[in-house]
Amino acid sequence: MADAPALEIEHLSHPANPSLLTIQQHVMREQRRFPNATGEFSWLFSGLTLATKMIAARVRRAGLSDILGSAGATNVQGEVQQKLDVFANETLIESLSWKETIGLIASEENDRLTAVHYGSPGAKYAVVFDPLDGSSNIDVNVSVGTIFSILRCPDGCADDPAKWVLQPGREQVAAGYVLYGSSTMLVYTSGNGVHGFTLEPSIGAYLLSHENIKMPARGPYYSVNEAYRDSFPAPYPAYLDALRRGGLGTKYALRYIGSLVADFHRTLLKGGVFLYPPTADAPGGKLRLMYEANPIAFLAEQAGGVATDGARPILDLVPDAVHQRTPFVVGSRDELELFNRMAAN
């Protein structure tokens, strides 16, 4: 019998197309940085991405279905719930509840923590989220988003949910947001840079579109609700005046959407600064530390930016309540250096 011809092998001469990398593949690739990774984190992340795809589909149909307007109730924050708030919250909880690695869920919309697989030996993570940031804007077709943070159960947390959830922002395993705008985009970090994925609706997958995002060291915009300027404490008014006068060598333009995800997304890509100062009515700030400030601050620092409560790095704050609020200043390095100098005087 004649010998079979040898099979020839052609080696791939170019790297794989990064634009075909899905969020799940990227998360699995990131897990390889940890020798003992078991794939549990990517399985958890699949629950998040599934829920956000469902929310994106509902947002796109908002004007064609009975999903706009108030749900007729208020949440624990005392804010009027929109119908989409309720849908997004329920969808995230339902999708995440199937993941055995999740012990606890904390939502901005709920008064209490939600125990999922709390007490199970395989439950290693808590997920904290704002299901639909900026939802009051949905009726006027303005971009909204979902913000999330993932925390690992520390030693001794099994019988202490407070120890599990009330961790400083530097303990976040991962954080990110999904922006429902002209396209649906997911931006996340697991402590190794910031990466953005755009939802390709024809195949239902998030594909890598913005790899290793770096916030510009200086930007052209500042973002703040100046309607409350008269009640801002020092140094905020003086700082805004300095930006408008060209204190950093350029005169800044004001851009303010009123949806944190949308305002920060612009700041992340274009540079500048976003401010939500304390006011006379909210001296402790208005944004939630765990649901909003911590995940956004983690993203900002990983992209080369800075985030503070006006005096301290946001990620160093130790929360004492799940719904704790905080002042928030986040943005490019140069703008935050100027702010910190003025705040110190």
231-263: per-residue pLDDT in tens?
Answer: 999 999 999 999 999 989 888 999 999 999 999
In the prediction, which pLDDT does 211 show? 95
Question: Helix, strand, coil proportions of the chain in percent (round to 5)?
Answer: 35, 25, 40
Q: How far apart are CA 40 and CA 294, in angstroms?
A: 23
* pLDDT mean over 142-166: 88
9 pLDDT above the threshold of 80: no
| Tens digit of each residue's pLDDT (9 = 90 or more) over 313-343 | 999 999 999 999 999 999 999 999 999 999 9
Pair 315, 298: CB distance under 8 Å: yes
Q: At 43, which helix (H) or strand (E)?
A: helix 40-60
Q: How far apart are CA 147 and CA 177, in angstroms?
A: 4
For residue 71, what pLDDT band results from cuts at 50, 70 and 90? very low
* Three-class SS state of 152: strand
Give Cα 225 distance to the centre of its chain.
20
- Average pLDDT of the chain is 88
Mutual angle of helices 40-60 and 23-31, in 10-degree steps: 160
In the prediction, which pLDDT does 292 show? 98
For residue 41, what pLDDT band results from cuts at 50, 70 and 90? confident
- Pick 280 or 71 by higher pLDDT: 280
Identify which of 275, 259, 253 has the alpha carbon closest to the alpha carbon of residue 338. Answer: 275
Of the listed ranges 20-24, 57-61, 157-161, the least confidently predicted one is 157-161
The beta-carbon contacts of 197-204 under 8 Å, at least 24 apart in sequence, are 197/22, 197/23, 197/26, 199/53, 199/56, 204/53
Identify which of 340, 187, 161 has the alpha carbon closest to the alpha carbon of residue 269. Answer: 187
Phi, psi (deg, nearest 5) at residue 130: -100, 105
* Three-class SS state of 330: strand
Pair type for strands 287-288 and 273-276: unpaired
120 pLDDT above the threshold of 90: no
In the prediction, which pLDDT does 51 show? 96
* pLDDT mean over 153-159: 77
Mutual angle of helices 294-302 and 260-270, in 10-degree steps: 10
In the prediction, which pLDDT does 139 show? 77
Identify which of 153, 129, 180 has the alpha carbon closest to the alpha carbon of residue 296. Answer: 129
Q: How far apart are CA 152 and CA 315, in angstroms?
A: 16
The number of CA neighbours under 13 Å toward the Cβ of 144 is 25
For residue 16, what pLDDT band results from cuts at 50, 70 and 90? low
* Three-class SS state of 342: helix
Beta bridge partners of 187: 177, 196
**Both tokens assigned to 129:** 């989220």
Pair 179, 187: CB distance under 8 Å: yes
Distances in Å between the Cα of 70 and the Cα atoms of 17, 85, 306 are 44, 9, 36
Cβ density class 130-166: b for 16+ within 10 Å, e for less: bbbbbbbbbeeeebbbbbbbbbebeeebbeebeebbb
For residue 137, what pLDDT band results from cuts at 50, 70 and 90? confident
Percent pLDDT > 90 in the chain is: 67
Q: How far apart are CA 305 and CA 270, in angstroms?
A: 12
In the prediction, which pLDDT does 79 show? 56
56 pLDDT above the threshold of 90: yes
Q: Give the best-scoring range by mean pLDDT among 54-63, 152-161, 197-206.
A: 197-206
In the prediction, which pLDDT does 160 show? 83
Of the listed ranges 159-163, 256-260, 263-267, 286-290, the least confidently predicted one is 159-163
In the prediction, which pLDDT does 146 show? 97
271 pLDDT above the threshold of 60: yes
Of the listed ranges 73-82, 165-174, 240-249, 294-303, the least confidently predicted one is 73-82
